[in-house]
């Protein structure tokens, strides 16, 4: 749902529905990353035990996260796909503990499997974040139509194991725009109402591809869907500032400001407080 406002700080006003509540995205929201994996690319995001997991969730909520995104498999470059059974084992207990401890926060599940999506929603999750954009599971769109929960539609070229091996496009923006248009049309035919687009920074894109997408981000609003960006501490930042993931927060904040100025509605982040402050600064700047 979109209302155009030329004076809006964030270029377009959207909302999505979760549990009968209308989530206003006219001021951008934050999605905190909760990794349930032993091998995510940013080591500090890994949780050692249930106590650490719940403490991390509490911290992110207190710092201003609207969503927590639970991922039970690693999608870092070079990562191997895990089995459905392993994903389920990693996810289910953590989801139940987080849902019971923090009943008000909105939980997104990072999965490309429709069976995991259905299980997670039945266990109290609120949305599905699919890195494959529906390409890895032919039943995902039909499942999302049945569940009627928000669907984060990401673009990825290839699969995590090989996606960063010399990715090529004739024009990265027009190819991803066409992919989004095709997938949105299919979702609309199924009756899926709330679709959020994620260009998939770092997922089958070179450094130049990533910054071209960031520069042209606002043009995706022609598809009439809110935009999520996942830039946090990624290689596209590390390579420019010549730092590793542990030292990439300042560069991440700079990239978040660029994304916000170009119309991002949701920032998917490891560091909620810093992202919240970036949103506050851009909001104040644009309203002067």
- Token look-up 């609309």 returns 188
User: Which helix (H) or strand (E) element contains residue 171?
Assistant: none
Between the alpha carbon of residue 83 and those of residues 8, 125, 134, 228, the distances in Å are: 44, 21, 18, 27
Is residue 85 annotated as part of the catalytic site, yes or no? Answer: no
Q: Which of 29, 56, 233, 234 is catalytic?
A: 234
DSSP 18: E
Q: Which of 56, 90, 268, 276 is catalytic?
A: 268
Helix axis angle, 84-101 relative to 114-122, nearest 10°?
Answer: 20
Distance (Å, rounded) from C-alpha 148 to C-alpha 82? 27
Is residue 234 annotated as part of the catalytic site, yes or no? Answer: yes
Report the greatest alpha carbon distance in the chain. Answer: 52
- Token look-up 């035919």 returns 189
Distance (Å, rounded) from C-alpha 69 to C-alpha 34? 6
DSSP 97-124: HHHHH-TTSEEEEE-S-HHHHHHHHHTT
Distance (Å, rounded) from C-alpha 166 to C-alpha 108? 31
Tokens for 277? 């402050």
Residues designated catalytic: 234, 268
């Amino acid at each position: 749902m979109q209302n155009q406002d030329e004076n809006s700080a964030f270029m377009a006003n959207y909302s999505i529905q979760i549990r009968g509540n209308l989530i206003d995205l006219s001021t951008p929201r934050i999605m905190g990353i909760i990794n349930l994996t032993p091998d995510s690319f940013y080591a500090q995001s890994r949780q050692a035990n249930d106590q650490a997991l719940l403490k991390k969730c509490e911290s992110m909520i207190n710092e201003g996260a609207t969503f927590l995104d639970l991922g039970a498999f690693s999608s870092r470059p070079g990562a191997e796909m895990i089995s459905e059974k392993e994903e389920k084992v990693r996810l289910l207990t953590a989801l139940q503990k987080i849902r019971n401890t923090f009943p008000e926060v909105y939980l997104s599940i990072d999965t490309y499997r429709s069976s995991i999506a259905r299980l997670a929603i039945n266990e109290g999750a609120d949305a599905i974040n699919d890195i494959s954009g529906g390409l890895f599971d032919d039943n995902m769109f039909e499942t999302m139509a049945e569940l009627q929960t928000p669907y984060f539609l990401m673009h990825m070229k290839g699969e995590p194991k090989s996606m960063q091996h010399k990715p090529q496009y004739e024009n990265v923006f027009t190819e991803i725009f066409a992919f989004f248009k095709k997938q949105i049309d299919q979702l609309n035919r199924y009756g899926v109402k709330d679709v959020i687009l994620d260009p998939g920074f770092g997922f089958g894109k070179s450094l130049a591809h990533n910054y071209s997408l960031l520069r042209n981000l606002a043009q995706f609003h022609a598809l009439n869907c809110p935009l999520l960006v996942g830039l946090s501490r990624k290689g596209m930042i590390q390579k420019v500032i010549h730092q590793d993931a542990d030292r990439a927060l300042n560069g991440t904040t700079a990239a978040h400001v660029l994304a916000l100025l170009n119309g991002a509605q949701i920032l998917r982040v490891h560091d909620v407080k810093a992202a919240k402050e970036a949103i506050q600064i851009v909001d104040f700047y644009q309203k002067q």
